[in-house]
Amino acid sequence: MAIFVTSDAHGHLRALDRALELAAPGSDDTVYVLGDMVDRGPDPVGVLRLVHGLPNARVLLGNHEDMLLTALATGEQLDLLTWEMNGGSSTAAGLDALPREEYVELVEWIEQLPLFDVVEVGGRKYLLCHAGIDALALRGYLASAGYGPDEGYARVPLELYRDAMEQQTAEDLLWTRGEFWGEPTGLVSRDGSGPVVIAGHTPSVLLYRYASLLSQPVLDADERACAVEVGACWDTGGIADRVDIDCSAAAGAPVGRVGVMRLDDRRMFYGTIEDGE
């Protein structure tokens, strides 16, 4: 059983489909989708349909799904305008064109999406969320349970990480950016052990604004956006403590891509966004 992670397709159905075809998850594999399926791109409803139909998919809420739900729930002009200004027009048009039964099914599915998940792969724990975490608050919660850097965060049970993530605010899990990428989490020890946070939300082409210690350029040789590991240094034993899985699909062609990472070996599979997509 392999574990795959993707995020921020932003309505680019064809690119997501290509990335998944290359990754080729099997019926026993799990695909984590870290939100922002909708808005900006040409076919957000197509992305929702694809992800909703994936076997063994575990889908998290993104800030764009949250804006969608808020706009639909309140109907207030400010909420509708905020959603529209953030690329919601294509999603609204797609939803309006659906038969009512499918519309209700998709919206009710989005409403129950969680804000985070925690998984262990190959002896490494991963904290999965859309935007990032408040690492100081998370370490404080672990300290109250008797775990700190001296004991090693790798020893923290998976369920305790779940409890700690439950204490994180929705604001951080959905919206944080500079505060998360700008500072190490402090969760990976000098021996390289400890949990790694995987998040989207921040297009990788913008990481230079917020983060240092990037493991690679944000663009490949063809000037296409990449997933980027962040934070590898002496204090982490050369292990990145954060991974940005948002491959800038919101930017569209020619830079943007949708990326899928196989956690078992950290291999990336990319679906390129072509002109007109």
Band (150; pLDDT cuts 50, 70, 90): confident
Cβ partners under 8 Å of residue 228, min gap 6 = 204, 207, 214, 215, 216, 218, 243, 244
CATH numeric code, 3-272: 3.60.21.10
Evaluate if pTM is beyond 0.95.
yes
Q: Where are the domains of the chain?
A: 3-272
Query: Is 194's pLDDT higher than 90?
Result: yes
Q: Report how far residue 76's alpha carbon sits from residue 152's, in angstroms, rounded to the nearest whole number.
A: 48
* pLDDT (tens digit per residue) in 229-275: 999 999 999 999 999 999 999 999 999 999 999 999 999 999 999 99
